[in-house]
Structure 1
């Protein structure tokens, strides 16, 4: 029971931190007229020549079933398009349209500035300390799932 008492506050702090981040981030994304999954796709496709749905799913936090619907809605708004893959006709490439590139150029820097505001006054050393702690915790989970 002692071991459980030691790790449970860490898990709670991790979850609470993630929830707070998500709430702060999502509010800004919604204010820009997007849902968080839509922003995730636009941000991931920005500055790329596009990618397959499989690649897009691997680089975002969106499940395959949800990904199709989100891409459909972005396509309906004229922000993404699906084109044939050069070498594999079973695959399609999803890429931003010119309107999608303009959207990316507007919303991505604005959202990064919104997030940066949270870190005003945080020193480089503090960033490094937090990154080191988070990466160490990540490795604990990766080791357990390997």
Structure 2
């Protein structure tokens, strides 16, 4: 009878899988001149047009300085613009940024589908439920 893996072994396996998928995803995004963090900012702005820097900072869960650097690089690449509004700046995607993210979201979804292709639909559903169960306990 096979031995049941320990929580530590299971956790280590999850970390390895996430790390490998993250590395491959980062490599794919690099072909578009983006980092994973920059991609996340573009996705957020696609979903929340004209967000404030504070809203982006809260949504990403990183420091104000990190977001500021990300926004500066994306503005230099002409993917977003900043519009002063009172004491805050509203951040929005440029036409170029909107076009890029409209291409990247489906491409990234396809990448993730390929990454999880070792699982059938039932197994993927089970994994999603188990992850949600663990997440709800933390």
Is the CA contact 2:21–2:115 (under 8 Å) kept in the aligned structure 1? no
Is the CA contact 1:51–1:95 (under 8 Å) kept in the aligned structure 2? yes
Is the CA contact 1:26–1:35 (under 8 Å) kept in the aligned structure 2? yes
With the length of structure 1 as denominator, give the TM-score of the two structures. 0.80
Question: Post-superposition shift, 1:28?
Answer: 0.7
Question: Post-superposition shift, 1:26?
Answer: 0.7
Match of 1:12 in 2: 12
Q: Name the SS of the counterpart of 2:78 in structure 1.
A: coil
CA distance in 1, matches of 2:41, 2:100: 12
Match of 2:95 in 1: 98
CA distance in 2, matches of 1:23, 1:56: 24
CA distance in 1, matches of 2:134, 2:99: 37
CA distance in 2, matches of 1:132, 1:35: 29
Q: What per-residue deviation string (whole Å, max 9, x for no partner) do you get for residues 40-69 of structure 1?
A: 111221143221112212323543221100
Question: Post-superposition shift, 1:73?
Answer: 0.8
Question: Post-superposition shift, 1:74?
Answer: 0.6
Q: Name the SS of the counterpart of 1:92 in structure 2.
A: strand
Match of 1:58 in 2: 58
Match of 2:32 in 1: 32
CA distance in 2, matches of 1:122, 1:8: 22
Match of 1:77 in 2: 77
Match of 2:21 in 1: 21
**Structure 2: which 5+ runs fail to align?**
none
CA distance in 2, matches of 1:119, 1:9: 20
For 2:133, which of 112, 129, 136 is the aligned residue?
Answer: 136
**Structure 1: which 5+ runs fail to align?**
142-146
With the length of structure 2 as denominator, give the TM-score of the two structures. 0.84
Match of 1:118 in 2: 115
